[in-house]
Amino acid sequence: MKIQEVKVFVSCPGRNFVTVKVITDEGVYGLGDATLNGREMAVVAYLEEHIIPCLLGRDPQQIEDIWQYLYKGAYWRKGPVTMAAIGGIDMALWDIKGKIAGLPVYQLLGGKSRESVMVYGHANGETIKETLDNLGKLIDQGFKAVRLQCAIPGLEGTYGTLGEKKDYYELQSDRPLPPEQLWSTSKYMNFIPELFEQARQQYGYAVQLVHDVHSRLTPIEAANLGKLLEPYKLLFLEDASPADNQDGYQIIRNHTTTPLAIGEVFNTVWDAKDLIVNQAIDYLRIASTHGGGITPLKKIANFADMFNVRMAPHGAPDLSPICHAAHAHLNIWAPNFGIQEFIGFGTEKLNSVFSHPLSFDNGYIRLQDKPGLGVEYHEEEAAKYKYKRSYLPVTRLEDGTLWFW
Ligand code: EZ4
Ligand code: CO
């Protein structure tokens, strides 16, 4: 069997997605997600100009060798553009292998460790009341875990809230230049414990709660927040601080028992090696797309398991349904699976482009048994939705200093 052709599609059914299709000389094909939010076309160029010519004629069944060839063989290892491009190809190769074997990908990974995948949803709001009303709606839908984000009084357009357009920023696709938002650490720190205080008063402790700091605190500030939130028993605090310096997490860890999660911007195990070995985190959020595919994710999961770190893959809607399906297969298999972020199956438009094998059932995702990843990509539908340049927002402090968004 040989790789005959590799196609790269960019479609915007609500937001931009980069989809890879690896086609073999025997008619079997595989699909992968190579979407990098706000930098989509860089990945397309990397694939078309630098990867695809090297793949033609190779045996698609040699997944490990192809992965090593694209990673080590490029000399320029790592980085989000490179790893998203490799991730798209790698997923497509696992899809092909599953189709050849007539087995779902989780069977190729080692089989099921569980029957379904526990998820957490998102409750956002402009006020505590609105956020908690949305929490109540998710509990009614069966969610066992929910992430709470709320606008900070005195700041406009805070991360995780609805902004002026009143819809979730992830689903917007018309920001041809990056919008700017303001941040104040002190306003945030003085407000956020009250959100969780009221959540626990109103809904008790049966529902698991999560909060995403989106990397806006220094380690000692994050340590303080972790301490303030301890009474509310979070499942985890996400991206409490950037971990470009992995040692910084020791500061947070030394001060608080609030569990910590990080990793949605990680690209390789090297971004997390010290965090894992030092047991400085509890959940690793690296995504299959941005971490170079299923091949490295399996290794990272096994490595993390040795240090009591559980997998909680990024599940934002800027990952395509192909990545969400890849995560479902990994999550069903991984002995150290923790929880999956999940904010719904998207719009009719999105579902006209991708069909997937996932369904939501009372707080869990179920995965239908289909060979490979189980996703279909409808090329004619996809072609209706042209790429639109769109950026994530940028954050500044109130004095104008550029900050982490
Ligand atoms: O900001 O996916 O946990 N989820 C997140 C996301 C990220 C975006 C970045 O592209 O923090 O909403
Ligand atoms: Co996040």
pLDDT score at 167: 53
Distance (Å, whole) CA 366 – CA 387: 31
How many CB atoms lie under 10 A from the CB of residue 259? 18
Strand ranges inside 126-227, DSSP E: 145-150, 180-183, 208-212
- Does residue 162 have its Cβ closer than 6 Å to ligand 1? no
- Which residue stretches of the chain have pLDDT < 50? none
Index of the ligand 1 atom closest to the CA of residue 265: 9
Distance in angstroms (rounded) separating the CA atoms of residues 12 and 349: 9
Catalytic, 214? Answer yes
Residues with C-beta atoms within 5 A of ion ligand 2: 212, 264
CA of 239 to the centre of ligand 2 (A): 6
Atom of ligand 1 nearest to the CA of 316: 2
Let me know: does 15 contact 172? Beta carbons within 8 Å.
yes
Q: What is the pLDDT of residue 159?
A: 72
Residue 322: per-residue pLDDT: 98
CATH class of 3-106: alpha beta
Q: How much is the mean pLDDT over the chain?
A: 96
Nearest CA to ligand 1 atom 5: 316
pLDDT at position 176:
86
Write down the pLDDT at residue 198. Answer: 98
**pLDDT tens track for 268-291:** 999 999 999 999 999 999 999 999
> Residue 110 pairs with which residues in a beta bridge?
none
Distance from the CA of 394 to the center of ligand 1, in angstroms? 13
Q: How many helices (H) and strands (E) does the chain have?
A: 14, 18
- Is residue 318 within 8 A of residue 170, CB to CB? The reply is yes
Minimum CA distance residue for ligand 1 atom 6: 316
Q: Is 212 in the pocket of ligand 1 (CB under 6 A)?
A: yes
> What pTM, to 2 d.p., does this model score?
0.97
Any atom of ligand 1 within 6 Å of the Cβ of 392: yes
Between the CA of 148 and the centroid of ligand 1 the distance, in Å, is 14
The domain spans of the chain are: 3-106, 108-369
- Marked catalytic residue, from 211, 214, 314, 329: 214
CB 276 within 8 A of CB 255: no
Whether 159 is catalytic is yes
Provide the CATH topology of domain 108-369.
TIM Barrel (3.20.20)
User: How far, in Å, is the centroid of ligand 1 from the Cα of 277?
Assistant: 25
- Euclidean distance between CA atoms 337 and 39, whole angstroms: 29
Taking alpha carbons only, the member of 90, 78, 6 closest to residue 47 is 6
